[in-house]
Amino acid sequence: MRINKFLAHAGVASRRKADELIEQGKVFVNNKKATLGQQINPQKDEVKVNGSPISSQEEFEYIIINKPKGVASTAADTLVNTKSRVYPVGRLDKESTGLILLTGDGDLTNRLTHPRYHVEKIYEVTYLGKVDDATIGRMEKGIEKEEGKTKEARVKTLSTNEHKTVLQITLFEGRKRQIRRMAEKFHLHILSLKRIAIGPINLGNLESGKFRKLTNDEISALKKSARV
């Protein structure tokens, strides 16, 4: 097994980040500095990162949680009861709610968050006032940002009146605060922002602050969507 794949499976980091650790000289195999692309035997070779031994972790946990408002994504793992090392896949700011996936599977995490794999994330966003069709059309085309133009989005109107508009927005790449920055650009005021799906995994009727483990079928579908 390639050393970066081993580290990803062990939940240390994504393959890309693992390669960076190797280049920085922080990874050792049998007390020798690891090299990029190095093959190892997980059952025989001793692997250390920053001096700490890393054991193979073939079985990962995959958990979804309905993040409440006011909780940071980085603290989401404190709301679940598990002995496994799990980390949030992507982020939601404190004011946003909804689906966060937690896992120790670094390889899957990288594929779900990297723009290259285009795994869709679906949000339900409530705006103050009426959002007209012209603005929705502009939202779908993407916006110019410092790091480049965002990919096109899919926007569906769920309900609208003079007081508020509820849109379902599907994004195909992970850009920081993309929906909130989109609102700023089009002078829209967000009343609530909730992520309801990542790829084939839906929040469903999971209550705020609650969590559950994914089923085997859900895990397989998620990996398929990320081309793992």
Over residues 64-83, the pLDDT tens digits come to: 999 999 999 888 888 998 87
Q: Where are the alpha helices (DSSP H) in 10-98?
A: 15-23
Q: Give residue 42's pLDDT.
A: 76
Q: Would the pLDDT of 128 be above 80?
A: yes
Of the listed ranges 12-26, 39-53, 182-196, the one predicted with least confidence = 39-53
The catalytic site residues sit at 93
Judge whether 13 and 49 are in contact, CB under 8 Å.
no
Q: Where exactly are the structural domains of the chain?
A: 3-54, 62-115+200-225, 120-198
Q: Over the chain, what is the mean pLDDT? A: 89
Judge whether 92 and 195 are in contact, CB under 8 Å.
yes
What is the topology classification, in CATH, of domain 120-198?
Answer: Alpha-Beta Plaits (3.30.70)
Q: Give residue 148's pLDDT.
A: 67
Residue 127's nearest CA partner among 148, 158, 150 is 158
Q: What is the DSSP string of 134-186?
A: HHHHHHHT--EETTEEPPP-EEEEEEE-SSEEEEEEEESS--TTHHHHHHHHT
Q: How far apart are CA 99 and CA 12, in angstroms?
A: 23
- Cβ-Cβ contacts under 8 Å for 136 (sequence gap 6 or more): 155, 157, 167
Q: Give residue 147's pLDDT.
A: 65
Equal CATH topology for 62-115+200-225 and 120-198: yes
20-43 average pLDDT score: 92
**Residue 54 three-state SS:** strand
DSSP 70: T
**How do residues 138-162 score in pLDDT, each as one tens digit?**
999 988 766 667 788 999 999 999 9
What is the topology classification, in CATH, of domain 3-54?
Answer: 3.10.290
Share of the chain above pLDDT 90, in %: 59
What is the topology classification, in CATH, of domain 62-115+200-225?
Answer: Alpha-Beta Plaits (3.30.70)
